[in-house]
Structure 1
């Protein structure tokens, strides 16, 4: 049985472990964080393509138990006028509906499912280096321990240690926007009903959804210079609110009131991306998820793309005649799609083109949508 090491126990890494386990591989996950919680202040949406990937590896229940579904979207302009309203994704299928949930909850849920299946998830194992030999790969950790396998998958996120080992010149770049996230139960909005509202503000893109228990989840994207590291590391929720509110108060939309009603549950980050063409592979070491193809959050596809990665990698390793062929097939299948997403999302963040209705919904037109369904189908050959 082929043994696979997965470095990173976040969304990409744990989903990859679930897929590899279903494909019959021996897999172990090594996560630097001491527990399953990560980025507790941020939330995300899983799109229908991500939910489809989870369904193929029997992981739907682990995720639909979390957060809440989104079945429609409306778009407002800066005066509060409704411009459009439409179903969101594959709203008619309960397993494929968009889902809004906290990142930390999703990490915990996926890791609990991995543990339930008997997959080893090791916490507090910070990778320091990777050593390849003819037949395998050895991971060296900060505590002096090592682990060896035939394949090593770097799913360790934007600032990947695995990427630094195999492509040290590949670094994330600023994508043109500051991104704010928050939650509040004190906002006076009744915009529930499994709907997300997107606001095209004059100076900020804003989105919000109201959970069944009345909590408003919101985000804002503002074009500006990147925030310095000390601002994001040492700033306060009150300071971040005041940084954002002037841009929102210029418009007659619910955005400013929602943010003003938010307490300490505010997070800010710089939108970043990895340039297309970033190397993904060295021998038996492969990057996936944000470690390989991080995009700005404008299309909301980061987690869903990582889940696609997981299923297609597992099928490639299952169906190809050898490891080298499998990793080559995987990259051939994935690179056009994910790099298209990087480009579309970056263009939205930088304001370099007008977005289509599909792109505004978080589901941009990408190459191979029909082919994707076939590729994700577990019982169909990757070929």
Structure 2
């Protein structure tokens, strides 16, 4: 299908939206990205971009921009809380794609993705309030009375997707029963624990500690994920609260926790969504977290968004119609992301879960939370 005359509106300028905009504009489509924020920025810490994602960037013109602000990694290690190695593996797909995983700060990632888009493609300050699906077209209604009609709307508006809630599923995000505490710290304060550039995860006592090197920045992304029954979206915690989560861990990790600057710490309750049955109509499609937000244990959220973007572009380039392309896209991507959502929810042992949620088993926390009235607030909160 020739999509050079196709008018495409992308809702959201995050990983999924920016990657999709690049892939679709490469095909000649007329793409506009609508972002609710008044400026492009991303808080948080580091993420890993897998070889398959880097392959997507290389083939669609973003690879050099990503590599300029990221660090390569050869392998990852899983260790016990006190530092005994459980496993060491090279990154999967290295040979397939002739690439390795690269680590990047979330802010740098967004800037690189948006930076390769044509000037003027991203429209800031457009908060979506309503979407009307007209069959062959769809109309977006933004705060302030502005509207836009497109042949195809790509809903890339995250875990609290307006597009998903109004057209495909009104089920709310599900609390995963855990908190994530994230900070970017100077590499000098990490005792050379990741000087080789490789990811390490320490696990035990209901806590996972991730050390993700950002060596091109002279920094390390420090992530503590701990079981916790508090479902507040942005929980208030003290240094002592966080120190309790790393009791019994390698003393170097304890000291790194003790040295954290609480003013720069990002604290979040962890949420995902239940798999939804349908991602598309004839003129609207969901991608990224809007379609399949997942817990971060497998490190697949951003990577899945990138692969969604590429798969959507490929489907539109090869199908006979938009309708057929969207059906093909869902058929290819949904089985994969359904499985990633499932395994990402099951990140804890029986004993770890029962310490915090008496009587529960791994995989039951989300099910328990989904029957409550707890939901995640809007993106601005």
Whether TM exceeds 0.5 here: the answer is yes
* Secondary structure of 2:153 counterpart: strand
CA–CA separation in structure 2 for the residues paired with 1:314 and 1:246: 47
Deviations 1:7-36 (A, max 9, x none): 000110000001111122111100001111
TM-score by length of 1: 0.84
How far did residue 287 of structure 1 move? 0.7
Structure-to-structure mapping, 1:1-383, within 5 angstroms:
1-38=5-42, 40-90=43-93, 96-115=99-118, 118=119, 120-185=121-186, 187-191=189-193, 192-212=195-215, 214-229=218-233, 231-232=234-235, 235=236, 239-263=237-261, 264-348=263-347, 350-351=348-349
Relative to 1, partners in 2 of residues 1:306 and 1:128: Cα closer, same or farther, differing over 3 Å? same
Cα deviation per residue 1:98-156 (whole Å; 9 max; x = unaligned)?
A: 122221221111111113xx561101111111122243111111021111110101000
Take 1:94 and 1:217, find their aligned partners in 2: how far apart are those partners?
A: 26
Instruction: Tell me if structure 2 keeps the 8 A contact 1:273–1:294.
Output: yes
Deviation at 1:210, TM superposition (A): 3.4
> Which moved further from structure 2: 178-187 or 210-219?
210-219
Q: Deviations over 1:63-105 (max 9, x none)?
A: 1111322222222212222233332235579972212222122
User: Deviations for 1:147-194, whole angstroms, at most 9, x for unmatched residues?
Assistant: 111010100001111112103522211123211111222524112121
Determine if contact 1:33/1:123 at 8 Å carries over to the other structure.
yes
* Residues 340-364 of structure 1, C-alpha deviations (whole Å, 9 max, x = no match): 000010111x54699xxxxxxxxxx
* Structure 1: tracts of 5 or more residues without a match: 355-383
**Alignment correspondent of 1:358:** none
Is the Cα–Cα contact under 8 Å of residues 104 and 214 in structure 2 kept in the other structure? no
TM-score when scaled to structure 2? Answer: 0.84
| Farther-moved stretch of structure 1 (150-159 vs 105-114) | 105-114
> Contact conserved, 2:282 with 2:322, CA < 8 A, in 1?
no
SS in 2 for 1:144: coil
Structure-2 change in CA distance of 1:93 and 1:276 (3 Å): closer
Question: Please, what is the CA RMSD of the aligned residues?
Answer: 2.2
Cα distance in 1, alignment partners of residues 224 and 290 from structure 2: 24
SS of 1:282's equivalent in the other structure is: coil
Superimposed CA distance per residue, residues 274-322 of structure 1 (whole angstroms, 9 cap, x where no aligned partner): 1123432233111110001001000000000011100110111111111
Q: Distance in 1 between matches of 2:232 and 2:332?
A: 37
Shift of 1:197: 1.2
**Aligned partners of 1:208 and 1:216 also within 8 Å:** yes
Cα 1:197–1:220 shift into 2, 3 Å: same
| Alpha-carbon spacing, 1:66–1:93, altered in 2? closer, same or farther (3 Å) | farther
1:338 match: secondary structure? helix
How much has 1:42 moved relative to structure 2? 2.9
Q: Cα distance 1:84–1:135, how it changes in 2: closer, same or farther (>3 A)?
A: closer
Q: Is the Cα contact below 8 Å between 2:46 and 2:214 reproduced in 1?
A: no
Whole-Å separation in 2 of the counterparts to 1:219 and 1:278: 32
> What is the deviation of 1:240?
4.4
Distance in 1, matches of 2:337 and 2:208, equals 23
Q: Structure 2 unaligned runs (5+)?
A: 353-381
Count of aligned positions:
344
Which residue of 2 is the match for residue 373 of structure 1? none
- Counterpart CA distance in 1 for 2:26 and 2:230 is 41
CA separation of 1:225/1:314 partners in 2, compared to 1, >3 Å: closer, same or farther? Answer: same
